[in-house]
Structure 1
Amino acid sequence: MFNDLGILELVTLVVLAVLIFGPEKLPKVIQDVSRFVRKVRDFSESAKQDIRTELGPEFKDFEFEDLNPKTFLRKQLEGNEDFNELKELRSSFDLKKEMNDVADAVHGRETGSSVPSAAAASSVPAAVNGSPDLLKKQDKPDAGERPPYDSDAT
């Protein structure tokens, strides 16, 4: 309940309690508060037990913490083999390296590793069709030669 309560906050609460209730009434107030907390815990435990008995024997392993969506998903995904395979696939895939390889292939630079299959596949049809690769910078045409006509650019 008070997991993030530091020493300074605790001392401040004690000083405030002494100032508000006084040293004479403080032990009685602490007893009343502890009795109230105990009653609330007993009430919540009995309510949980009633719910478990009403749900029946098929829910005997039911925990109320499982109602938290994060806990529920964590428990469901722990036993799932597909999730483990996805984690392995994700760890083996380096998006930044793949993007750099594709950018190098587009700009015509040589890479240390092989060109990814997607970039290689996209450059193959241009060479097969005989059409020029529009992504590569072309040399300027001679003075008498007209520049190539690009119908998509007009």
Structure 2
Amino acid sequence: MFDVGIGEMAVLVVLALVIFGDKLPQAAGQAGRALRQLRQMANSAKADLQEGLGPEFKDFDVADLNPKTFVRKHLFEDPDEPGHTANGAAIFDDEPYATAGAGLDYGERPPFDNEAT
């Protein structure tokens, strides 16, 4: 996720011990509580949004606000078609970003999306 290796992790642990000393468990506990509260606030805001929209939007997902996802979902997909998951998301095996770990050859230009900027 953060591309942190073993050596870098060891340096971070030593720095944390030097900076926080014996207060490290308390600092870690406070950070965990802050993350938990932040997650609860985000979930309650999402629930409030869904409740405020009413029953017409019971299948609303925050990811639907992404314009690319919205257009793909409502214009280019047939939910009854095979290859769709239960929540309506499509599975695209033929697109270049679907192959994890596939790199570019030397001198090969990466794919470009005109609508991304």
Number of the residue aligned with 2:37: 39
Q: Give the Cα separation in 2 of the matches to 1:11 and 1:75.
A: 45
- RMSD value over aligned CA atoms? 1.9
Number of the residue aligned with 2:28: 30
CA 1:12 to 1:61, structure 2 compared with 1: closer, same or farther past 3 Å? farther
Q: Relative contact order, CA 8 A, sep 6+: which one is greater?
A: 1
Q: Give the Cα separation in 1 of the matches to 2:70 and 2:11.
A: 38
More helix by share: 1
- The letter for the 2-side match of 1:11 is A
Equivalenced residues, count: 77
After TM superposition, list the pairs within 5 Å mapping 1:13-92 onto structure 2: 13-22=12-21, 24-79=22-77
Number of the residue aligned with 2:11: 12
Q: Give the Cα separation in 2 of the matches to 1:69 and 1:11.
A: 41
Gaps of 5+ in 1: 81-154
Q: Give the Cα separation in 2 of the matches to 1:20 and 1:73.
A: 49
How high is the TM-score relative to the length of structure 1? 0.44
How high is the TM-score relative to the length of structure 2? 0.56
* 1:72-121 CA-partner distances (Å, limit 9, x unpaired): 233235416xxxxxxxxxxxxxxxxxxxxxxxxxxxxxxxxxxxxxxxxx
- The letter for the 1-side match of 2:2 is D
- The letter for the 2-side match of 1:29 is A
Q: Give the Cα separation in 1 of the matches to 2:9 and 2:66.
A: 29
Deviation at 1:18, TM superposition (A): 1.5
Gaps of 5+ in 2: 79-117
Q: Give the Cα separation in 2 of the matches to 1:68 and 1:12.
A: 38
Number of the residue aligned with 1:113: none
